[in-house]
Structure 1
Amino acid sequence: MKTGIIGAGIAGLTTAIALRRQGIATEIFESAPELKAIGVGLGLAANAIKAFRHLGIAEEVIAAGLSLNSYEILDEQGRIINTTDSQLLGKRYGLNNFTIHRAELHRVLQNHIVPGTLHLNKKAINLEQLPTGTKLFFEDGSETIVDNLIIADGIHSLIRQKLYPQVQPRYAGYTCWRAVIPNPGLTLNTAVETWGIKGRFGYVPLAGNKIYWYACANAPQNSPQMQAFTILDLRKLFNQYHAPIPEMLEHTQTHQLIWNDICDLPALPQYALGNILFIGDAGHATTPNMGQGACQAIEDGVILAEAWRKNGSFAAAAQYFEQHRRARTQWVIEQSYRLGKVAHLENRFLIKLRNKAFRIMPARINQSQLDKLFRIQFE
């Protein structure tokens, strides 16, 4: 029996590792000619590390990243709006705030897939559903037939567009620039996000004495002006924000910028279609405001493998996945979308009300959301 995975991102690689633990072989088809992750950082929350522990690779992932003291939301003058203490997170969920370079996470995951099962330069452009499987058509003219198909090729999945042409990514209303830079001598041990009238600016230290920062601003979708932004434009936009934001921008060059509009994905009619299953961003892409995009993709792989073990067939596992993943992933998408709207307010009066509300918010409200995210079992 042949199980194909389209996409060798975090979702695809984690799923291949999880299925291998159950004795299930996979073939991974990746469109890129080489497996090279975009050079930005990401946060992995307790639910993702718990999933990696289930796979037996958590310590390798942790060794490649950096644990942080806290996560803080500040206003543009640097005053605290909200904070999450890592010691409390560690006591309650077993992990502090954690950050890792995306390329490092990919490196760890690649080390745990079976050699020869990853096929590069294989861009899936179409499919044909057969009575006993699925035929895949690749851009290079080749074809293959798989018994089971896991679609994990991201928010712009070509195969999803063939099956669900009516479902298109939803623009969140703001655009984003990212960069990873050498630390210019700053002492950083927390993840920080600043909410100001000009937009959001976040930064986290990475292992290897590097810093990952991102800047988001309200803008029309696909704006040529935003796409043409240089580091000089960003320095001007955020020059009144608190230290060390101006210093980071001074030590960044235009060629280091990665730009994209922020989008998520409306709910698919189904994640599971017989022997076809959508996972990760191909099935439930979210905005990054809750730091859960990669985390949910990692959960997907582990839960699918466990469901297959329990239910005995891919089709039954896919249905189980549909029943147990849809509500959780859609909740993350909608919560993250709303949080982004709140973070990107431009009216000064509403900004003051928002900041005050976050400062006086009872701790139990924040805790209930964290519990919902992090108290997950994979057995």
Structure 2
Amino acid sequence: MRGSAAVIGGGVGGLAVAGGLHRAGWTVTVYEGAAGPPAVGTGLGIWPSAMRALDRLGLGAAARSRSRLQPDGAMRRPDGSLIARLDVARIRRRHGEGVHLLSRPALLGLLAEALPAGTVRFGSPVTDPLPLTDDHDVVVGADGIRSVVRTAMFGDRYPLRYAGVTAWRGTVALDVPAGGETWGRGRKFGLTPQALGVTNWYAALAAPEGYRPPEGDLAVLRRLFGDWHDPVPAVLDRVDPGGVLHHDVHFLTALPSYVGGRVVLLGDAAHAMTPDLGQGACQALVDAVALVDALAGEPDVRAALARYDRERRRPTQRMAAMAARASRLSRVRRFTGVRDLAVRAALSFGPPG
């Protein structure tokens, strides 16, 4: 089947589904509210399932050439003692390759290169997606955690929920030999190598919704994490106060369907999850390929969207539930020894690929 599609949102999922539909012979328009593509952004871990999705889009080889392989990592306590190791070699043995690290702007640029010029209409926010069904065979809501498409489909029946965590993130000009996370009582700090000389960092704190430190973001980060093991203090010493992103963490209540008529949701619009498993962008890529396959392979749009919903809703909601459990585990304040045993046991089975 071929047709025309309006894709609302020019992020990872939106550009991926647009590129896949274009390859399948569809006419595609992407509506993006931002004035242009992002120039800066933190790094993403592209897990094997997401890399296979990029292979299906014809972009896997380019993604591998522009990324770096994630080295082994570790989970530690604030004094540096080991909780558990993340064995990347084990991931390679199980899934055929490891995790590739690629910045969000680099991934978006790669996906955009697969589209004809003019496909993405920047500066074109959509406030009501339903009229687009008059001119397109399918409307794809890929507009993120606060999706207007989802609101048009469901109203306020399935709200975002606060995860109990406020988070900070950014990048620093520093090489670290390996990534990983350090878990304290009700707080954690993470590091991921991004590119030569650049490291992603992030921090999370159990706090009331809307928490804003009176002393400022960088000051509170140094107070909370400045006496933790190396290289955390060195990272904080290099943080540019103007480059710190701070936001509360929310996740989406499980939806009864990702489809309404000829409108369909994917990525965060469908299943926004906490970032604890590093799967948000990865699941959006897998969603995109599943939707393209369904639309290309079924005789009509409604059958295709029903197939996509069957294939993707339960797996993504299971992943979101796993991420929520990991989030709760990471912010406990008592019985941290039991928590550490649980983390070690979970990693012994291996993370999702």
TM-score by length of 2: 0.94
CA contact (8 A) 1:64 1:207 kept: no
2:167 aligned with 1:176, yes or no?
A: yes
Q: Distance in 2 between matches of 1:38 and 1:222?
A: 25
- Deviation track 1:278-320 (CA, whole Å, cap 9, x = no partner) reads 1110111111111110010000111111112221322211100
Is the 2:161–2:250 contact (alpha carbons within 8 Å) kept by the matching residues of 1? yes
SS at match of 2:257: coil
In the alignment, which residue of structure 1 is the partner of 2:222? Answer: 235
Report the Cα distance in structure 2 between the residues aligned to 1:97 and 1:242, rounded to whole angstroms: 25
CA distance in 2, matches of 1:299, 1:110: 17
Contact 2:164-2:209 at 8 Å conserved across structures:
yes
Question: What amino acid maps onto 1:175 in structure 2?
Answer: T
Q: Give the secondary-structure state (helix, strand or coil) at the position aligned to 1:87.
A: helix
> Identity over the aligned pairs, expressed in percent?
29
Instruction: State the AA in 1 paired with 2:158.
Output: V
- After superposition, the Cα gap between the structure-2 partners of 1:209 and 1:285, relative to the gap in structure 1 and judged at 3 Å, is same
Aligned to 1:255: 242
- Cα distance between partner residues in 2 of 1:307 and 1:281: 20
Over residues 14-57 of structure 1, what are the superposed CA-to-partner deviations in whole Å (9 max), with x where a residue is unaligned? 10111122112211000111121651112111111111112221
1:162: how far off? Answer: 2.5
Identify which of 264, 289, 296 aligns with 2:276: 289
Name the SS for the 2:282 alignment partner.
helix
Tell me what 1:106 maps to.
108
Alignment of 1:1-379 (within 5 A): 1-36=3-38, 39-128=41-130, 134-135=133-134, 145-165=135-155, 166-183=157-174, 186-188=175-177, 190-225=178-213, 229-347=216-334, 350-359=335-344, 361=345, 366-367=349-350, 370=351, 373-374=352-353
Partners of 2:146 and 2:34 lie apart in 1 by: 14
Amino acid at match of 1:306: D
AA aligned to 2:169 is R
Once the 2 structures are TM-superposed, how far is the Cα of residue 241 of structure 1 from its aligned partner? 1.2
Deviation at 1:148, TM superposition (A): 1.1
Corresponding letter in the other structure for 1:177 = W
Aligned in 2, Cα 1:362/1:283: closer, same or farther, shift over 3 Å?
closer
Q: Deviations over 1:211-239 (max 9, x none)?
A: 1000000111122337x733122111102
**Contact 2:153 / 2:260 at 8 angstroms: preserved in 1?**
no
Go from structure 1 to structure 2 and tell me whether the alpha carbon gap of 1:362 and 1:322 turns closer, same or farther (over 3 Å shift).
Answer: closer
The verdict on how the C-alpha distance between 1:258 and 1:23 changes in structure 2, with shifts beyond 3 A counting, is same
Report which stretch shifted further, 211-220 or 229-238. Answer: 229-238
Q: Which amino acid aligns with 2:143?
A: D
Please state how far the C-alpha of 1:92 moved relative to its aligned partner. 2.1
Task: Report the AA paired with residue 284 of structure 1.
Answer: H
Amino acid at match of 1:161: T
Q: Provide the rounded CA distance (Å) in 2 between the counterparts of 1:239 and 1:260.
A: 20
Contact kept in structure 1, 2:74 and 2:180, CA below 8 Å: yes
**Deviating 4+ runs (over 4 angstroms):** none
DSSP 3-state at the match of 1:43: strand
Q: Is the 8 A contact 2:4 2:26 kept in 1?
A: no
Native 8 Å contact 1:265 1:286 kept in 2 = yes
Letter of the aligned partner of 2:153 in structure 1? L
In structure 2, how many angstroms separate the alpha carbons of the residues matched to 1:78 and 1:55? 41
Give the total of aligned pairs.
350
- Which consecutive unaligned segments of at least 5 residues does structure 1 have? 136-144, 375-379
Equivalent residue of 1:116, what SS?
Answer: coil
> What is the DSSP-based 3-state SS (H/G/I as helix, E as strand, rest coil) of the residue aligned with 1:222?
coil
Please give the alpha-carbon distance, in whole angstroms, between the structure 2 residues aligned to 1:238 and 1:4.
45
| TM score, norm. by length of structure 1 | 0.88
Deviations 1:95-122 (CA, angstroms, capped at 9, x unpaired): 2232211111111111111211111111
Distance in 1 (CA, whole Å) between partners of 2:128 and 2:343 is 47
Cα RMSD after superposing both structures: 1.8
2 CA distance for matches of 1:66 and 1:210? 12
- Deviation, structure 1 residue 362: 7.8
Alpha-carbon distance in structure 2 between the residues aligned to 1:270 and 1:212: 35
Q: How far apart in 1 are the matches of 2:145 and 2:271?
A: 8
Whole-Å Cα distance in 2 between the matches of residues 316 and 198 of structure 1? 46
Question: Unpaired runs of 5+ in structure 2?
Answer: none
